[in-house]
Amino acid sequence: MESRFILEKILILLFLFFSAVLSGCTGSGFFSQKSLDGPLSVPSEYVFFPKTSKQTHFKKQENLANVLAEFSSKKHSNKEKAELLLLSGTICDELGLESLAKAMYMDAITYNPTYYAPYEVLGAYFFREGKIGDAVEALSSAECLNTEEKDPYLYLHNGIVMAYTGHTKFAYEDLQKFYADDDKDPYRLLFYYFATWNYLGEEKAHNLLLDYYKKVIHTEVEKNFGFNFVKLYLGEISEGKIFSDILKVRNNDDLFLEHLCEAYYYIGKIKLIKEQDKLAYDYFRLCENTHKYNFIEYSLSKYEMARLEKKYSKKHRVSIEELSN
């Protein structure tokens, strides 16, 4: 009887011990986090709240007014009006007027149903809205209509849709073609890298980056800001180095905004690959907060956030400023 009592006591003590260990491991990040809530996990020295240059914003509004005035001219053919509507939609995109931009792209098709470019942009729009079937249909139409000279960005948009719908082989093939069109562009390489990781694995993806690095090091490509992310992924530089370089252009509102948008996305993306979901989510939130509406990194950050929110059943999102306090 006494031995049974002692055994039960030992079992209880063991249970309490392992419960404490598991609790500590979870808190330290040994296990995946269960929530996206909590304070901003990005180091405070990397957190900035940039504002769009008022001068740039005004100039875009002025450009939009000029294009719309030109559109109203009776001297233009339907084909020319479709092109002006596409341009108007692009400017609306830059201003964050997504609904207006989308309407203009659709009107462009009305004026010229064989014009491939609006279909391509609408494909990206539909994808962001979760309308995968419409996105595929729009991109297919763009591909069929783009008969003169193949637009490489069709491969990018197709590849992104294929990647996020689990068609890793097709994503790899499309993004390989996108990269091959300009194999010195580090941004194209990064999208190809993500597709390679998903389809062929980490080792192949790493070798792809390494081969590129050896090929372009000590060339003009080094001056391209995107090359920093290649070096970061290879462990050649730190995140701190990237942000210290960004701070050097802080007096240039537009460039500061662009670099932050890109840095937050590409750092968030590698955190996501490493299954650091909360940290990735917070980087994507900072990317969204740059309001660099016409950058693909901004759009994809919003999409990544939505996916993570669905994964963790997150229903309420507090402002990024609240999180940083």
All structural domains of the chain = 53-149 (1.25.40.10)
Q: Is 197 left (phi over 0), alpha (psi -120 to 50) or beta?
A: alpha
pLDDT band per the 50, 70, 90 thresholds, residue 17: very low
Rg (CA), the chain: 24
In this prediction, residue 22 carries a pLDDT of 38
Of 95, 115, 96, 161, give the one whose Cα is nearest residue 105.
115
CA 18 vs CA 24, 39, 136, 199, 268: distances in Å: 10, 28, 50, 38, 33
- pLDDT at residue 322 is higher than 90: no
Note the residue count of the chain: 325
Task: Say which residues have a Cβ less than 8 Å from residue 86's Cβ, sequence separation at least 6.
Answer: 104, 105, 108, 115, 117, 118, 121
Q: Per-residue confidence at 51, pLDDT binned at 50, 70, 90?
A: confident
CB atoms closer than 10 angstroms to residue 39:
11
Query: Quick check: 58 pLDDT over 80?
Result: yes
pTM: 0.86
For residue 67, pLDDT over 60 is answered with yes
- pLDDT at position 324: 55
Angle at 282 between CA 281 and CA 284, to 5 degrees: 65
The string of pLDDT tens digits covering residues 149-183 is 889 999 999 999 999 999 999 999 999 999 999 99
Model pLDDT for residues 214-263, shown as the tens digit of each residue? 999 999 999 999 999 999 999 999 999 999 999 999 999 999 999 999 99
Please say if the pLDDT value at position 50 is more than 80: yes
Task: Give the count of beta carbons closer than 10 Å to the beta carbon of residue 180.
Answer: 12
If one compares 149 and 14, the residue with the highest pLDDT of the two is: 149
Residue 35's pLDDT band (cuts 50, 70, 90)? confident
Lookup: tokens for 158: 């197709």
- Could you report the per-residue pLDDT of 68-101, keeping only the tens digit for each? 999 888 788 999 999 999 999 999 999 999 999 9
Q: How far apart are CA 142 and CA 280, in angstroms?
A: 33
Tens of pLDDT, residue by residue over 187-225, are 999 999 999 999 999 999 999 999 999 999 999 999 999
pLDDT at 141 (0 to 100): 96
Non-local CB neighbours of 243 within 8 Å, separated by 6+ positions: 45, 46, 263
DSSP annotation string for 280-315: HHHHHHHHHTT--TT-HHHHHHHHHHHHHHHHTT--
